């Protein structure tokens, strides 16, 4: 790792003087005898290593490793070394030292020798340094916080996403010469022109300021949050758009969320009109529930237990051992399909809205017990996004049905609309499979009308409405005559 970027403009000294000063001030007011003993012993120990306060060279860090570890024990507690991902750093560089054990383990999986933590982000050293100067030297009201993320592979080779937090509280900034001091006019000009790097570099010439101290970098695992964000982006697209790339992307996102390579994702739509489980129209996503079937009546597809979970209570159906589950139920259609596909554990997560089932998200694994009640809880964080996407998809599907009916048929009476919608659904599915199909003639067998009206559809209603409007107009005129006569 490089000590500092080649084009960095400022002078940087690694020092721990602010921590030492903090201990000295704290010792003046501390009343706890254990804390007093610790502070006194630490300051005595550090006093034999004056370079820690005056300034260290990077080459000296290793030989001062033990005293640095003791000095920073408050900031890097040993009890949390396997929990926190944390390290000290030379200001405005990615040279790390005093790393927590978890940080060390994390970096041990990196094969690339040129890997650089901050270099893999959009971290701008010069902008950050300039912001610290404006805030610390000139008390400018600016927010230096900026979300930084990096990706680091784990032991299995899966990329994990981490949010980087940079703490510059232990860095002291000093102006080297008064001739470099900025005026209020200069500061306002800089803030008005944040993208003008030439202007900024002219106001902060090379080595005009010194930075003395050390920084602290902390990492937080946000792989789950990042995966959810990616899933939201995918769901904002059209669910009805057939795309193998999108299906693979969704599966990859779920693998990141569950940190499992042995994970496969499927989806089944529920048709509330005909009480059928169906494959998604215009989608190549698999349905583990249906297997090789295109549709199935819910009563024939589910046993009593799975029916209660998915259609009555809308709760996840978690099958940790598929073969054992099959041996204990009567209707084995669902587990038979899972076994045929080679799956040994599965989660069926119902997506419902206002008391009706919209569809079922399916996760399956070849390994028994890999999917269980505990990791099923992760789906709670994304169920609302799936629900919104399904509602939108359902509305678009209904619009497609209406448009098809209007294209293929004349106006129809509401009492027989269901029959036309049923045929439109059949035709949409048929065409989704690239079938050259047309709208069939609809016939109602053995129907005897109790009342019939033969005219242009809606003309009677329009005539009655016109008569009503005319009568109201006439009565208003009569009312005006009576009022005038009176």
Rounded mean pLDDT of 383-412? 79
Of the chain, the percentage scoring pLDDT greater than 70 comes to 90
Strand 264-271 versus strand 276-278 pairing type: antiparallel
CA–centroid distance for 324 within its chain: 35
Q: Which residue has the tokens 């010069």?
A: 126
Rounded mean pLDDT of 435-457? 71
pLDDT of residue 26: 92
pLDDT of residue 1: 39
Q: Residue 6's pLDDT band (boundaries 50, 70, 90)?
A: low
- For residue 352 the two structure tokens come to 């419902």
Rounded mean pLDDT of 347-376? 91
Residue 459 parent element (H or E): helix 459-485
Domain regions of the chain by residue span: 11-221, 224-395
List, edge to edge, every strand of the sheet that includes 171-175.
11-14, 209-213, 171-175
Rounded mean pLDDT of 461-475? 90
Q: Is the pLDDT of residue 240 over 50?
A: no
Q: What is the pLDDT of residues 417-431, one digit of tens each?
A: 778 877 777 777 777
pLDDT of residue 327: 92
Q: Which residue has the higher pLDDT, 281 or 171?
A: 171
pLDDT of residue 2: 43
Give which of 117, 87, 122 is closest to 102, Cα–Cα: 87
DSSP sequence for 309-350: IIIIS---EEES-HHHHHTT-S--HHHHHHHHTT--EEEEEE
Q: Is the pLDDT of residue 28 over 60?
A: yes
Of the chain, the percentage scoring pLDDT greater than 90 comes to 35
pLDDT of residue 214: 93
Calpha distance 96→215 (Å, rounded):
9
Q: Residue 230's pLDDT band (boundaries 50, 70, 90)?
A: confident
Phi-psi category of residue 337: left, alpha or beta, with phi > 0 → left and psi -120 to 50 → alpha? alpha
pTM exceeds 0.75, yes or no: no
For 422, list phi and psi in degrees, rounded to 5: -60, -45
The CATH code for residues 224-395 is 3.30.450.40
Q: Report yes or no: 320 and 346 within 8 Å, Cβ to Cβ.
A: no
Q: Is the pLDDT of residue 119 over 80?
A: no
Alpha helices in 121-183 (DSSP H): 125-136
Q: Which residue has the higher pLDDT, 351 or 10?
A: 351
Rounded mean pLDDT of 215-234? 84
For 164, list phi and psi in degrees, rounded to 5: -100, 130
Q: Residue 451's pLDDT band (boundaries 50, 70, 90)?
A: low
Give the least confident one: 26-40, 153-167, 185-199, 227-241.
227-241
Q: What is the pLDDT of residues 266-300, one digit of tens each?
A: 989 888 888 889 887 655 678 899 988 888 898 89
Q: Is the pLDDT of residue 115 over 70?
A: no
Q: Residue 101's pLDDT band (boundaries 50, 70, 90)?
A: very high
Rounded mean pLDDT of 361-382? 90
Q: What mean pLDDT, rounded, does the chain reach?
A: 84
Q: Residue 340's pLDDT band (boundaries 50, 70, 90)?
A: very high
Give which of 269, 310, 254, 245 is closest to 393, Cα–Cα: 269
Q: Residue 342's pLDDT band (boundaries 50, 70, 90)?
A: very high
């Amino acid at each position: 790792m490089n000590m500092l970027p080649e084009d960095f403009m400022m002078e940087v000294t690694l020092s721990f003087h602010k921590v030492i000063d903090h201990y000295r001030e704290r010792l003046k007011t501390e009343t706890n005898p254990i804390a007093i003993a610790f502070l006194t012993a630490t300051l005595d120990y550090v006093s034999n290593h004056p370079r820690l306060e005056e300034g260290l060279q990077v080459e000296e860090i290793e030989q001062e490793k033990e005293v640095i570890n003791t000095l920073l024990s408050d900031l890097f507690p040993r009890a949390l070394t396997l929990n926190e991902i944390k390290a000290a750093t030379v200001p405005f560089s990615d040279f790390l030292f005093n790393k927590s054990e978890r940080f060390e383990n994390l970096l041990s999986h990196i094969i690339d020798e040129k890997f650089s933590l901050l270099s893999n982000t959009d971290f701008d050293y010069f902008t950050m340094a300039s912001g610290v100067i404006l805030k610390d030297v000139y008390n400018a009201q600016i927010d230096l916080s900026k979300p930084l993320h990096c990706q680091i592979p784990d032991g299995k080779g899966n990329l994990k996403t981490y949010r980087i937090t940079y703490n510059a509280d232990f860095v002291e900034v000093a102006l080297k010469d008064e001739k470099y001091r900025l005026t209020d006019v200069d500061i306002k000009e800089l803030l008005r022109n944040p993208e003008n790097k030439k202007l900024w570099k002219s106001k902060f010439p090379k080595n005009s300021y010194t930075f003395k101290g050390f920084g602290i970098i902390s990492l937080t695992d946000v792989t789950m949050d990042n995966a959810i964000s990616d899933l939201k982006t995918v769901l904002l697209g059209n669910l009805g758009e057939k795309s193998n790339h999108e299906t693979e992307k969704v599966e990859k996102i779920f693998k990141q969320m569950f940190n499992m390579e042995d994970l496969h994702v499927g989806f089944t739509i529920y048709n509330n009109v005909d009480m059928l489980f169906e494959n998604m129209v215009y989608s190549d996503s698999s349905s583990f529930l249906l297997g090789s079937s295109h549709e199935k009546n819910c009563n024939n597809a589910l046993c009593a237990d799975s029916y209660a979970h998915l259609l009555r209570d809308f709760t996840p159906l978690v099958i940790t051992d598929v073969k054992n589950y099959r041996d204990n139920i009567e209707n084995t259609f669902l587990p038979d399909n899972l076994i045929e596909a080679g799956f040994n554990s599965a989660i069926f997560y119902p997506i419902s809205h206002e008391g009706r089932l919209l569809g079922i998200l399916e996760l399956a694994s070849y390994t028994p017990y890999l999917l269980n009640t505990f990791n099923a809880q992760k789906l709670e964080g994304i169920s609302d996004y799936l629900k919104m996407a399904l509602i939108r998809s359902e509305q678009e599907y209904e619009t497609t049905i209406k448009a098809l009916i209007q294209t293929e048929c004349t106006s129809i009476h509401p009492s027989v609309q269901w029959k036309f919608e049923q045929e439109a659904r059949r035709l949409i599915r048929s065409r989704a499979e690239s079938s050259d199909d047309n709208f069939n003639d609809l016939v109602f067998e053995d129907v005897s009308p109790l009342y019939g009206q033969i005219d242009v559809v809606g003309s009677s209603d329009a005539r009655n409405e016109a008569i009503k409007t005319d009568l109201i107009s006439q009565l208003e005129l009569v009312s005006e005559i009576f009022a005038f006569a009176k």
